[in-house]
A and B are shown apart, each in its own frame.
Chain A
């Protein structure tokens, strides 16, 4: 059905480069744009921003609660702050500030969560950020976006400036191939159908999108037609796309680089269970802290691979090889 080559042969990108270019481009065009960092100049790639826009760069040091509160204050004063730090600290350390100062307040603050998921795999569970999607998704008013590739990262960053209100953007560090073309237009709350299919639907976001596409190609070879949705917006959720998939295919497999509970898998399951129950498999990290290892090792470890997705789809359809 598709002639796209297997993603393993493609060039890989660090989405932080796309985020950083977009941020600098927006700051050049709009004097309201500023950046707030928690000593994260390297990890959030802000050295160039600081050099170009020294008056609109705030480094609070290692102080995440303060960092998010400062973001809220900057927004109160009419600025559009991009608050950039490692997702594990930005979310867990500053959770109450995110809840009260940003989400409840509807503050026009953009959280750029760097190196999420298991990007810091070797550094151990303290530095893994597999809980962030569940934590952020439960907060009313907060848009939660997990771009799949550099093109979507750029598009989501540009969109964030016109979106009035708080956003959480999960910027991948683990290299990913492109899954969108240059004409891609990001729409908040809209899943993108990357592949049509009639037997099963694969719903993924972030770095799992490319793997879901690979899985769909492998399934096709086995005579299974798999629809692939890039559900980069976890909140607000594209309920229509989920229900359409639930009606048009026999089951849904979700895949994410996070705890499946409460994240994308949980979100999709809430819709499916209440509106159109069909079999589901939610791939992600199960109810455990991840061990230590490279991101690639850990993704393999938890079956967050094309083969893992393919197997889950076959098992769901009752076609797995015994």
Chain B
């Protein structure tokens, strides 16, 4: 399998990567189905654990599917600490169930391990754990940690004159943490175009809509003003996500900010755009209904 990285075609770890359709339309549909599998897998995990952050799992699923299963990220599940790997940091660590499902689907660990989510002594904490799980780059959960770490990693790649890239996904409410803006200033000052920040712009945080809490708009203009090359795209259009992620940086010499417009609870009618589903947990009946709507099946 080969995938486009930085506009050019480079070898991608083919051993463990599932076959990705080559035709754009077919690939987008395939990634959409993968996204729905991630959704149902995450909901199943949250249902079993009786805890979790369903809304944000569902909003981020298509982005995760495109990055990991679409072959955008240059990673190798057989060598999770391969020094030349691309780094992905899930700064919105509460989206762990979707992230774990994606890592399992990509082959970092067996999908059966998803059953242990939040069980006593599990490697699958409620938030991603680098110490325990292959494929996780940073211990996140407290918000506002991912972007500074990503900026540090981007600086390391530059100091070492190495070509690997850094992707970080933040929430939108998360951007209320000031550390993000400290890191944004550093990223622009050093012109880190090996860094791509993705904002899961689902417009809802724990307590309410973001705009009712602390207004985040005009978000794109803010990042542009902070020196990022910024693009706003539909965060559920896997074709558009693939195109964007395979043509980075947006502008040479600048860090990239992709604001992915998403729907919290996407794909499950009763969870969509409902602040209560930020950490809502599906009942067995709701899980069945979700499976039907998503057209997905969880094999594990």
Which A positions have Cβ atoms within 8 angstroms of B?
34, 55-56, 58, 60-61, 63, 65-79, 81, 96-97, 100-101, 104-106
Contacts and interface: CB of A to CB of B under 8 A. Distances in A.
16 contacts: A65-B144, A65-B148, A69-B145, A70-B151, A73-B155, A73-B166, A74-B155, A75-B156, A76-B153, A77-B153, A77-B154, A78-B83, A81-B152, A97-B145, A101-B139, A104-B131
A55 B161 CA distance: 10
Given A56-B159, A73-B153, 13 more contacts: A61-B185, A63-B186, A66-B151, A66-B179, A66-B182, A67-B148, A72-B152, A73-B166, A74-B159, A76-B87, A76-B153, A77-B153, A105-B139
B157 interface: yes
Contact of B183 (A70, A78, A96): A70
A81 B150 CA distance: 15
A76 B178 CA distance: 22
B130 interface: yes
A105 B152 CA distance: 15
Contacts of A104: 131, 139
Contacts of A58: 155, 186, 190
Nearest to A68: B148
A93 B260 CA distance: 31
Interface in B54-86: 83
Contacts of B160: 77-79
A62 B179 CA distance: 11
Interface in B113-168: 130-131, 137-139, 141-142, 144-145, 147-157, 159-160, 166
A75 B154 CA distance: 11
Contacts of A65: 144, 148, 178-179, 182
Nearest to B153: A73
Contact of A69 (B131, B157, B179, B189): B179
A302 to B, nearest CB: 35
Contact of A100 (B87, B145, B147, B186): B145
A55 B149 CA distance: 18
Contacts of A79: 156, 159-160
B130 A105 contact: yes
Contacts of A55: 159
Nearest to A69: B148
B154 A73 contact: yes
A37 to B, nearest CB: 12
Shortest beta-carbon contacts, A-B, top 4:
A73-B152, A77-B156, A69-B148, A66-B182
Contacts of B138: 72, 76, 101, 105
Given A65-B178, A65-B182, A96-B142, A101 B149 contact: yes
B218 to A, nearest CB: 23
Contacts of B83: 78
A105 B131 contact: yes
Nearest to A104: B139
A101 B145 contact: yes
Contacts of A56: 159
A172 to B, nearest CB: 28
B148 A76 contact: no
A70 B178 contact: no
A60 B130 CA distance: 25
Contact of B186 (A61, A68, A72): A61
Interface centre among A61, A70, A74 (most CB of B within 10 A): A70
Contact of B142 (A77, A78, A100): A100
Interface centre among B130, B144, B154, B179 (most CB of A within 10 A): B179
Interface in B169-196: 178-179, 182-183, 185-186, 189-190
A99 to B, nearest CB: 9
Nearest to B83: A78
A77 B164 CA distance: 10
B187 to A, nearest CB: 10
A69 B139 CA distance: 11
A77 B149 CA distance: 10
Given A100-B139, A101-B138, A104-B139, A69 B130 contact: no
Interface string B73-108: 000000000010001000000000000000000000
A63 B182 contact: yes
Given A72-B149, A73-B148, A77-B152, A60 B159 contact: no
A65 B142 CA distance: 12
Nearest to A109: B152
A63 B188 CA distance: 15
Contacts of B185: 61, 63
A101 B139 CA distance: 7
Interface centre among B142, B156, B183, B185 (most CB of A within 10 A): B156
B44 to A, nearest CB: 28
Contacts of A70: 148-149, 151-152, 155, 183, 186
B152 A71 contact: yes
